[in-house]
Structures are given as C-alpha cells and as structure tokens.
Amino acid sequence: MKVNLMSNLTQGQLPDVPTREIAIIGYLSEQPHGATAREIYEAVSQALEDTISRPAYYKILDRLVSAGKLEQHDEQGSRRYSLMPQLTAEFRLTLDDVYEMLPLLDSTTESMALAIEAQAYFLDHRESILRQTAQVLSEEPAVELFYLWLNDLITMLQADLASYRLEEADGPHLGRRMLADGALEHRLSRQCEEIRELLYRQLSIPFDAVDIPDWQGLDGLKRNGSIVYEPHKLKQALSLRVFGAGERQTVLGLVSVEQSVLDAAQEEMLISGSDGSFHAGTLDLRSAKGYIEDDSQILTFNNSVAYIRASEKVERQMRVKKFIYSAPLTRQTLDNPAYRGMVLAPFMYPDLAESEYEHMTRAATDVVQLRVDDDVFNGVARDALSHEQIMPPRVHIRDGTITPQERGFNHYSLSNAYGDITREGIARSRSILQRIRSSSPRATPQVYAGAVKSTQIRLFSRLINWYISKGSRLTRQRAIEPRWEKSHADYISDIDVMTILFASPSFAPTPNSFWMSCVVIRQFASLTDFYDRKLGVEKNWFELLVDMRRDALKSHEKYRGKLPYHALISEEDLAEDAYLYMLDHADYASFYVGHTGGAPPPKIPRYEFLCSLREMDTDGATHYVQRATRQLATALLTCSFSEDRDHNFLSRLTLVKIIPSVVYQAHEWAKHWGKKLEGEFKSIVVKRLSEKRKQQVEERDVNIQPIGIRQYLQRFANARKALPPSDRGLDSH
C-alpha cells in the first residue's frame, strides 16, 4: 500500500486532505470487514508518512461519512468504518437491480415493514394453504378463472357505485352519512384504479368489452360516461389474452418435451443469452487532486455481452463450445454516433433537464443491450474473439424485460438526445419483431425471450389472493381459506408468490418437463402512455398519430417552439415509422416456469417472449403460444440453469435466484467487457489530454473513481419523482 500511495505524492511533500481521503478509501477497499478509526489512522498515516494528529483524521472520517463515501458502525464502544457499496465494472447494476432497490430509497419504513410481513405470511402458509392452492390451480381452466375474477371485481365496483348514488335516490340524509368520512369514495377510487390497471395495462382488454372511466367522484363519472360492461365480450377478449398451461389449458400445467426433441436440441439448437449492465465513476486527474464533487462529472458506462452456447454439431465442426459478442470496444467505436450511449455524462447533454438525463441513462443501458440482441437474433453478429459469423439462435434469452425501457410516445417524439435513444430502442425492437413475423408458419418459432429477475407487477399475486379467499368458493363451492388476508397482495410481488407455489414437491421439475403458469398477453400500447386511448372502428393508430402530427404543426404555427419528431417527418414516413409498427403488431407474453425447489426456494424469474397475435384467431394464437412456450422449455432443459447470487447492495442481503445458464455466462463475461470499456475510455482521455497540453500524460495520472451505489440510485429516484405520475408507471418491470 505504501508504494501505491506514495506514487501519488511529490517527494518530500506532506499530503493534503484530498490525498488523505483517497488513501483512506484505498485502505478500506482492501478491508472487506472494515476497520476502526485507530486502525485507519495508523495504517494510512504510516503509508503517507503523515504527521498530523489522530483527531484530525477523525474529522476526515466524519466528512467522508457525511459525503456518503463511508459507512460508520458503532461496535463495543469503538467506531468502525467500511466503504459504502460502490459501482465498478466488477459490481455493476442491471435495470432489474435498479428497480429492486428503488423501494429501499423511496419507501417509508412502514411500507417496507408491510412488504416483509406479507412475504412472511406467504412463507408461513406455503406447506398448507399455498400447497393446496397450487394443486387446485392445476385443475382450473385459465381463461374461465380470469373471467370470474374480473367479473367479480367489476360486480363489486358496480354495487359500490349503486350505494354511492343513494344520495340522489333516497335523499340527502343516508347518502351524506355514508359519505361523511369519505371511506366509500376512497374505496371506489382505489377500485377504479386497480381494475383499470388490470384491464388496460396488464391484460389489454378493449374498451368495447369493459369501459371504466377515471374516477373523479360521481360528478366526474357522469362527465366521463358510466361504466360499460359486456361480459361475453370480456370472455371473448380473454381468449386472446390468457392461454392456459399444458394440455388442459389450466392456470398451472405440466409441459413435457419428448426425449427425441431434447436429443435433437442438444445436437442442433443454438441458444444464446445477453446481459446489459452499467457502472459509474468520476474522472480523477493527478494534476487536479481530490474528488470531483460536481455531479455533472459522473460518468456512466453501459455495456452488453451475448453468450451463445454452441450445439454439439457446431462444436464438432468448428471446435468451439461458445461464441461471445459485444460492440467493438475501441476508441473509434466510442466516438461513433452509431454506438452512442456507451459512455455518458451530464455535461455531454446540456440541453437535457436533470430528470431527462437520468432516464436517458437507463434507456441507454437498455439500447446498448438491444443492439447486441438485434445483431445476434438476426444473424449478423460475429464472434468477438475469432470473428467467425454467429448463426442466429433458435432461442435468445435476455437478462431483463424485453419491453423497451423507454416506450412512451411523449419520449419517443422528443427532438433531442433523449428522443434519439428512445427511437433507437423502438427501432431495434421492431427489427427483432419483423424477423419473428417473417418466419414460416410451419416452422418452430424463433423465440426472443427475457428472464425478469425483479418485477413491480402484481397480477398473479392478486389473482391467487382472490382465489384463496373467494374464487375457490365460486368454482369449488368452498373457499380454501375464507379468512385469508387479501391485503397482503399489494405488498408481495408475482415472482415471490409464484416461486413459493412452484416450490411444492409435487411440482418438482424432471429432466423432460416443467410445471408452468398460464401465459398472459399484453399489447405494446398497454405499456405506453396510450394505454387508455380509445380507438373506434373508424380510427386506427396511424390516424391517431396523423392527428397528433397535425395538432403539433398547428401549435407550432401559433406558438413556434421546437417541433416534435413526428411533426418533422411526412405522413408517408409516419406510416412506416417503427412506433406505429409496434402499436400495430407487438405483443408481449409473460409466464412463470417451476424450475426451483428447497426451503426457502431460490427465486425464479418471470419469462417473457415477443410475438404478434393480432391477425390470428383463438385457435391459431393458442397453437402459436403453445409452440413458443414448448420451444423455450426445450431450450431451458437443454442449457440448464445457474445460481445467480447477486448482492442487494442496499439491504445487505444475498439474493439467490435461478436463471438460465446462458444468461449467467453473459453476466460473467460482461464484467470483463466492463473493465475493457473503462480502459478504452481512459486511453481516449489520456490521448486527448496529451494533445491538448502538448505534453505526455501517463495512464497512471488518470483514474476512474467509483461512486456509491446509494448516491447514484438516489439521483434516478429523484428524477422519477420529478416526472408526472402517468410517466412513472411506464418504466415498471
């Protein structure tokens, strides 16, 4: 340590405060369990040959704690210090990680306690109530159960609305007494919000089947129109939104793959996985000692890697077991606009507001991964080491959701760098979908899938809570547990519930089969700010965008200002636009696979795949979904699984998750590529500094100092709060 630290000092010069701070952090980086104030003082002052007193060092430690760079722990009368968790190439974050940790920043201690209580409640009943529930759900037809659930919620809403209208029907006394404390109105507001979320965002139910306006009190309901509910149309719509698992089309079903198919997959099938992640730091120059506290200097590094598992046939012919693909990490690449978003800093985008920049960095992480996905899936990628062309995989599994991170049209239409990144993400998704749609109907589908390790969606958890207390009574004449605490559904994720359900011994996987959940389909529009836009028979998505284009042009004529992207292109170009293509064709299927066990069981991901079912009837769509899920099951059984022991840096918990091995391998390779990306960027900085100063600048004079994870995530959390509530829901996983 002494040699490394002294290399940053001029011979004979006493260290200044920033140098001491750097030395303290350097020392603690080598102490995984932290150190006491005395230990820090003795080690660092000796290494620096420093002569200041120990109390002066204590003040520096207090300052580093206040700045969020160190954590302080009081143990047996002495203060112990350790580094705050930091973002580095080794400890990167994925978008799933971000959304998993945001509640730790945003939530109150009360809501966190409720979440922990809900998980404990489910775990306490996993051997009794939940095991029985899982068994019974394997006999319940999926479409029918979803229909009964939604019908029950709508019926309860209508009954409460009838009570709300008593003020008009029975005079003021009863109504006013009922509404005195606002309890009924609050319940109606919550019911409307929950049902609209289920219908329009999570199930893409058309408005001619169920139309529930925004709740704005009874007067608002009158202005917006009363509830429209056509039960037969709802059931018809659900037949194209919910597809049962297994041969019996139940909520939970067994999916088996013949041994001959698995043997053929081992011989022929190429399976790939990709990981997209980021880390961050500040640029530290030897000639400008100390930390750069200005947030505008924080650099974000985005990188993505695809790992392609070679089939036995390819391995024999080419003598390779794997292919690796990533964007070329060269100085030329980092300067190429085609690879924008790999390195970002706020000062590069002075025209963006802080919230826009923070959301652009998350979108850039997604787009960098989408570039890799697009190239690999379409068969234009070459191995990063041998430069051999990589044949397109039959199944590609992405780490994280397959829905574009930024997909709101209000972001897509921006005429700035944020809009550019958003448009590229949509264009890459379109490219992948076009390949899927162009495949022969006779061929087994090529599957573009995602393994989502963290989700904010509460669809299956709400269904199962309702079923335990009420739905089972409707279908089996007796509730599994009528006293079940349904309120816990709001505080436990789908992933937690489905992990517990599938951990039942009777649902254990075999070498040839998995238990799976039913598949739920969402249309692209449901994931955007158009989720509640009502389109009639006479107006389609293209006509809506044309109207918006004309309105933007009229507004520009009147008020001037900057034209949005969709107003800068012609109507002919708008007809070929990627966003319109996704509105017209993109569907997202999501479900769960029971490939875990134990007590407690490792968490399973939510699986998704991209498809296009709009032009199919119920039989055709069912057949396609069955083939796609079987293809994914074949790939999972062929490539097997790995344990992902990610550390939740804010809760200090080690979370064990089960993910496909190709995703895990991509995750591991991304660490190497992250270091290389940082190294290439550092080389560019050194080269340009040398040119600017007209003197040699050494590599050791430039460092990338990591920053704390909490500090970095807090920036994004604050940016989310600055957005309208309607926008915040778009980045939900």
CA distance 368 to 677: 13
Whether 529 contacts 727, CB under 8 Å? yes
Residue among 129, 147, 155, 130 nearest 244 (CA): 147
Q: Are 65 and 147 contained in the same domain?
A: no
Q: How many residues does the chain have?
A: 733
pLDDT digits 0-9 by tens, 590-602: 999 998 877 778 8
Q: Are 186 and 304 contained in the same domain?
A: no
Mean pLDDT is highest, among 40-44, 124-128, 441-445, for 40-44
- Of 29-43, 171-185, 426-440, 579-593, the range with the lowest mean pLDDT is 171-185
108 DSSP 8-state letter: -
CA distance 390 to 379: 6
How many CB atoms are closer than 10 A to CB 294?
Answer: 10
CA distance 696 to 686: 9
pLDDT band at 10; cut points 50, 70, 90: very low
Q: Are 17 and 70 contained in the same domain?
A: yes
pLDDT digits 0-9 by tens, 256-280: 999 999 999 999 999 999 999 998 8
CA 621 to chain centre: 27
Residue 50 is part of which domain span?
2-84
Residue 539 lies in a domain: no
Residue among 677, 658, 651 nearest 597 (CA): 658
Strands 35-36 and 78-83: antiparallel
258 DSSP 8-state letter: -
Residue 488 lies in a domain: no
**DSSP symbols for 538-601:** T--HHHHHHHHHHHHHHHHHHH--PPPHHHHS-HHHHHT-HHHHHHHH-EEEEEEEE---SSSP
Q: Is the pLDDT of residue 332 over 70?
A: yes
Residue 161 lies in a domain: yes
3-state secondary structure of 384: coil
CA distance 395 to 256: 18
- Which class for 615: exposed (0-12), middle (13-18), buried (19 or more C-beta within 10 A)? exposed
Dihedral pair phi/psi, residue 381, rounded to 5°? -85, 150
List the structure tokens of 698. Answer: 């050494």
pLDDT reported for residue 651: 62
Q: Collect all residues with Cβ–Cβ distance below 8 Å to 726 and sequence separation of at least 6.
A: 529
List the structure tokens of 592. Answer: 């769960």
Sign of the CA dihedral with 361 first, then 365, 371, and 373 last: negative
Q: Are 166 and 312 contained in the same domain?
A: no
CA distance 374 to 392: 10
pLDDT reported for residue 3: 35
Q: Are 183 and 313 contained in the same domain?
A: no
Q: Are 375 and 512 contained in the same domain?
A: yes
469 DSSP 8-state letter: I
Q: Give the residue-averaged pLDDT of 225-243.
A: 93
Whether 255 contacts 342, CB under 8 Å? no
pLDDT digits 0-9 by tens, 499-523: 989 988 889 899 999 999 999 999 9
Q: Give the residue-averaged pLDDT of 153-163.
A: 87
Q: Are 259 and 317 contained in the same domain?
A: yes
Whether 227 contacts 164, CB under 8 Å? no
Please give the residue that has the higher pLDDT: either 589 or 4: 589
Residue 292 lies in a domain: yes
Instruction: Report how far apart, in Å, the C-alpha atoms of 300 and of each of 90, 340, 365, 484 are.
Output: 14, 12, 9, 46
CA distance 551 to 567: 9
Q: Give the residue-averaged pLDDT of 16-33.
A: 83
List the structure tokens of 495. Answer: 């992933």
Please give the residue that has the higher pLDDT: either 143 or 190: 143
Q: Are 235 and 257 contained in the same domain?
A: no
CA distance 124 to 725: 35
pTM given for the model: 0.88
pLDDT reported for residue 26: 82
CA distance 679 to 687: 12
pLDDT digits 0-9 by tens, 414-446: 999 999 999 999 999 999 999 999 987 777 899
3-state secondary structure of 343: strand
Residue 580 lies in a domain: no
3-state secondary structure of 386: coil
204-206-209-212 Cα dihedral, nearest 10 degrees: 80
Q: Are 203 and 277 contained in the same domain?
A: no
Q: Are 320 and 435 contained in the same domain?
A: yes
CA distance 687 to 692: 9
Total domains in the chain come to: 3
Q: Are 237 and 257 contained in the same domain?
A: no
Cα first-last separation, the chain? 44
Residue 226 lies in a domain: yes
Whether 343 contacts 334, CB under 8 Å? yes
Residue 33 lies in a domain: yes
Looking up residue 71, the CATH number of its domain turns out to be: 1.10.10.10
Q: Are 232 and 282 contained in the same domain?
A: no
- Of the CA atoms within 13 Å of residue 519, those in its CB half-sphere come to 27
Among candidate residues 196, 224, 242, the one where a domain is terminated: 242
Residue 567 lies in a domain: no
The helix/strand count (H/E) of the chain reads as 30, 21
Whether 136 contacts 476, CB under 8 Å? yes
Among candidate residues 34, 66, 84, the one where a domain is terminated: 84
Instruction: Report how far apart, in Å, the C-alpha atoms of 388 and of each of 313, 324, 384 are.
Output: 16, 10, 8
